[in-house]
Structure formats: C-alpha cells, structure tokens
Amino acid sequence: MTRGNSQRGSDATPWRSRRVASAVAAVLGLCAGAGPAAGQDGARAPLLVDTAGAIDLRPPSPELTLAAFAYVRARVAEAAGGAPAGTPPTVRCTGASVVLRLGGRIVGRGESTAGSGEDLRLATDAAIEELGRRAPQAADAAQEAAALAELARATASLELAGTLVPIAPGTYEDADAELAPGLDGVAARFGGRLAMVFPGAALRLGLTPGDALGSAVAIASEDPSLGIRSAPEAQPRALAAARDAVFYRFRTTHAAQLAPGRSPTFLVRGGRIVAPRELTGPALRAWAGRMADHLARRAASPAATPLERAVAALALAEHAGTLGTGAGPAGAAARGLLRGLTTLDEGKADAWSDATTAAGTLAALHAIERVAPGEVMIDAAARARLRSRVADAYDPAAGWSGTLPEGGRPLVALGLVLSAMDEPGDANAAFAARAEAEGAVRSIYKETPPGRLVSQMPWLGRAELELAGPAGRIGAATALREMRDQLWAHQLTPEDAGADAPDLAGGIVFTAARTPLPTWQSARPVAFAATMLGDPRLTDAGEMWRELSRLLASLRFLRQLTADEHSAWMTDDPETAQGGVRASLWDARQPIEATALTLLAVSDTIRALDRLSAAVPAASEKP
C-alpha cells in the first residue's frame, strides 16, 4: 500500500481538502445572517464578518444552541399539556432540523431552510405537528393523561446550520472524496428551491456525502431521477451546466438528549470524542464486557450467518479466557453457538456448510477447549467432518480450490493448522497433515505483496503462531514485524486527523479504498497487533512500551466506533445497539465480525497488559 492522499503533513487528505470559496460566497450572499426569510429568488441576509474581516463560516454558538434547545423542549412540554413555550430566541442560521424520539423511534421531524430567524420556529412547528399526529387517541381522561405523559418523555435532537459554502464536485464520487461524512451537510439549489440534507439525517440513514447530495438534488429539482448517482446526465457538473444547479456544504451545531429528562449533549458526528486517557485497564475490561454481551445477543439471532456465529463463538471464548473462567456468561454463549453450528437439522449442520465456516468453527472449538480443558464439545465424527471440509479447500499439488473466495484463505489456513493438530493417525500422518497446512500458510505469503499482508490478518498471523506452538520458532517473524510496521505507517495520528476530525485518530487508512477513511476494517490487523504485543518472540521488552502506545491509539479508534449512549441514542433500539462496533463513524450498521474482531483485539491487549503488570508492578498505571 502507498500512503497516497493520506500522506502525513499533506493538506490533500479528504477531511482537510475543502476549499472555502470566500469571494464567490460574498458575491452570492449565501452565508448565515439575521434578517428576513429568503424569498423565491433565494436571497440571503448579509454575510457575518468577524473583527478581522473574514467571513464567519461557523454554525451558531453553543450558547445560542442551548437557548434554541430550551425552546424546543418547552414546545414538547407544551404539547404534552404544559405551560406555553413563549417566543423562540433569535438564532442566526441557514437552516434548522428538529427530530423527536420515543425509545429510539422517531415520532416527530421538522426542517426549515429559509435562512432566516424563523428557521428554529418553523422546524419545531413541523416536528410538534407530527408528534401530535402520532399521539394515541384517548378514550377517557386517564388514557389522555397517560398519553400526554408519554409525549413528555420524547427526546429532542437539534441541528443548526452555519454558512452555505458553494462547492463544485464533478461527480457524486467527488463529493464522497472531498466532504467529511457525518460532519458536512450538503445542499442543492434549483432556481428558487433549496434542499438541505443535515449531517444527522445522513448519519441516521447511512448516507455518504455523495448519496446525501443526490437526495438533495432529487428534492430540490422535484425530479427523483436526477438523484441517481450512476446516471451521467445526473452528475453535479452536468446539472450545473444544464440546469444552473448550485451545490453547497455546511456544518452544524448539534445537541441532543441521550435519554428522557436529560440535559442536552453536544455531539460530533453524532457522538462524543473518546479520549486516549480513557483506555485504562479497568476500562478495557468493561468495554470487552459490553461487546461480549452485545455479541452474544446478536450472534444468537437467526439473521446471523454460520460464519458470523463461528467467529463470535471464538471471540466470546477468548474473552472468557481473560476472565479466568470458561463457565461464565461469555463461555456459555460460546458453547451455545458452537452447539447450534454442529447440531444436525434435517441431516445438515451449518458448521460444514463451506470451508470458511468449518475453519471458523474449528477455531472456536479450540478456543473453547483451551478455556475448559477436558470438556468434550462435539463427537469424533463431527470433528472429522469439520477437518474434511477444511481439507477440501486446499490441495498441496493443485493449490487453493477455485470455489473458495480469496478472502477466505487466511481463515481456512488457520483451520488447516488446527486440523493438523487434531490428526488422529500415527506420527507420519500427523507430519503430513502439518506439512500440508504449512504449505497452505506459505502460499498465502508468496501470493500476497508485503504491503497487503495486513489484509490477511488476524487469521494468517494466528495460523503462523499455531504452527510455531507456544515456545517454538516463528518462521515468518520478520514478515510479521514488517507487516506491523506497515500497519503503523498507515495509522492516523492526531496531527493527521487534525482538529476537524479527532474521532478518526488511531484508525488505519487503507488507501486502496474508494474513500480512504478508516472504518471497522482497522480491526483486522489491529487484532493481530494485539496478539503480537503479548508474544515476546514478536515484541521484546525494549519494544513493549512503543508498541503498546501505538496499539492503544488504534484501540481508541475502535472504542470510538463502539456504540454507547452517546451514539446509540439515534438507533431504533438504543439499549440493544450499545456494545456493537459500527461499520464506520458515519454508518451505524454493526457487522458481527466487526464486534468479534474488536473483542479479540481487546482480549489480547488485556492479556498482554497482565503479562506486563507481572513483569513491572507499576505497568498497569502507565497506559
């Protein structure tokens, strides 16, 4: 991999490459200001200018936002039978968005893009009107009182927009590359009609900036076909030329209640910034516990695939190992998942439905047996069937099976190594099985360029350690150390992320991605970096503190991805969402594999810290 646009010190990174077209904005008069509502010609109030004479591009201040939020809350209380809310405060903004929720479910939405002092009132009016329509019909006074009490519990989210800054993306892909997802709102103007998509709405719907801009185009043009990002004639550059369309970005001040009765919290990208100092030993254990609880629920769902259940069982078993017991809730959940995978249903079992799932099941089985030695989880016939399914994917002479996806090879290689350890035959058979497994592992190294070795983690690295055993020589130690150096070379430092996006710090940038921003995929190599930290053959005493510092930086990013009350508030089921690792900071989906791999990373880090604490009594305080 090459650093590309993500090179340190470069202002070409996507989150720092926005150019402010001050002169154009001054001519168009599109910055936030107080004054009358915009007319049909889209005129705006005068520009806000600071004492240095620069255009003020900031959204409303926290103080003004709190005053505006108090008005929204007063209107909710009024709708629930309380005192009149009174006059709204005067807030300079280019638009306002109000969202009301009950138990995570949206019960009221309102937006106004007039660009005047009326936006707060108009957006609140629309949200309160929808809230009233959703109120249940009361048959008597008691039911009416109960319904009003329920309305009073509605939580509010308020976004106030700053200056509309003209942008000129050629395509929707350009918008994805140039704008900050979850931070930049986007807008489109066709004639006198303006449509804005607020960052909160984009986060809620999982929209990239390009997707959000397409939505704004469809609304402003009143032509849904123009929002199709794949159509050449619907690209922003073509629309600007053919329809005189104008496009903008903007930032917002965002405040929301995380629970009924709570004071508002200011949010960045829909959440809060996790500070590095929060990753203490006790905090790591608490975080792992929350992920384990979430994973046990999610993986037991019928929607989980067999492979997801296998990887979840592995992560839960290893987490149980950090607790020093295989009989706790995490160990019990791992056993339950494994039994479900290997139980015959109409003559079939999920565990050997394909080679990758069979390999994951074998890995989970070994992890459970290490936590609870001597416990028989599956019979010999089922074990043999797992080994056979894994063996079908690799032939020493012909190589990998054509039906096995390339991305599944590292996990299958781990399965082959574990299968060789289970070889029930004589010494010659065991030697042959090990040689075959080692050949599969080495083939992946040969076929993978050094710069892409991180993509084979953590399974290829784990296979290497299983081949070496707990005290043997690690054949690919040099390659694994070089892989780790590559990993940290692509880790975003706080300076890389900048003041604009501190929540990205510690993430790993895979520059081959369409939009080179860190996502949950960082968990793959970081999980093995945590394993390496705890192995003195890969991290000696002189490297320990340096590697621990780098690892904790990436764990900070993964902790940022993990849903807590500050980010789960906008989901349909906030309580269930907590503890799950999100796909990205702007995509609230929670892949089971993301949570499982992050749990593996944290579990291995805890074990490494325990080892370090045993060697240095004060070590537990240093992280």
pLDDT at 197 over 50: yes
Which residue has tokens 């340190």? 8
Give the per-residue pLDDT at 438.
96
| Greatest Cα-to-Cα distance within the chain, rounded to the nearest angstrom | 88
pLDDT in tens, 423-454: 887 888 889 999 999 999 999 999 999 889 99
Cis peptide before 458 (omega within 30 of 0): yes
- Report CA-CA distances (Å) from 36 to 26, 33, 43, 44, 80: 18, 9, 10, 8, 31
Helix (H, G, I), strand (E, B) or coil at 278: helix
Order across the sheet with 265-266: list the strands. Answer: 105-112, 95-102, 155-161, 252-256, 265-266
Q: 485: how many CB neighbours lie within 10 A of its CB?
A: 9
Give the per-residue pLDDT at 56.
57
CA distance linking residue 133 with residue 451, whole number of Å: 57
Give the per-residue pLDDT at 20.
26
Non-local CB neighbours of 571 within 8 Å, separated by 6+ positions: 104, 563, 577, 588
Instruction: Tell me which architecture the domain covering 1-30+163-250 has in CATH.
Output: 2-Layer Sandwich (3.30)
pLDDT in tens, 450-492: 889 999 999 999 999 999 999 999 999 999 999 999 999 999 9
pLDDT at 36 over 50: no
Band of the pLDDT at 514, cuts 50, 70, 90? low
Which helix (H) or strand (E) is 157 found in, with range?
Answer: strand 155-161
Give the per-residue pLDDT at 347.
63
Band of the pLDDT at 512, cuts 50, 70, 90? low
pLDDT in tens, 285-333: 999 999 999 999 999 999 999 999 999 999 999 999 998 876 689 999 9
**Residue ranges covered by each domain of the chain:** 1-30+163-250
pLDDT at 185 over 50: yes
Joined tokens for residue 124:
């609140």
Band of the pLDDT at 422, cuts 50, 70, 90? confident
Please, what is the Cα angle at 192 between 29 and 119, to 5 degrees?
70
pLDDT at 24 over 50: no
Helix axis angle, 409-421 to 355-371, nearest 10°? 50
- Which residue type, as a one-letter code, is found at position 156? A
Q: 105: how many CB neighbours lie within 10 A of its CB?
A: 12
CA distance linking residue 349 with residue 251, whole number of Å: 51
Helix (H, G, I), strand (E, B) or coil at 495: helix
CA distance linking residue 470 with residue 536, whole number of Å: 10
pTM score: 0.87
DSSP 229: T
DSSP secondary structure, 174-217, as one string: HHHHHS-TTT-EEEEEETTEEEEE-HHHHHHHT--HHHHHHHHH
Give the per-residue pLDDT at 92.
86
pLDDT in tens, 349-371: 788 889 999 999 999 999 999 98
pLDDT in tens, 378-417: 888 899 999 999 999 999 999 999 999 989 999 999 999 9
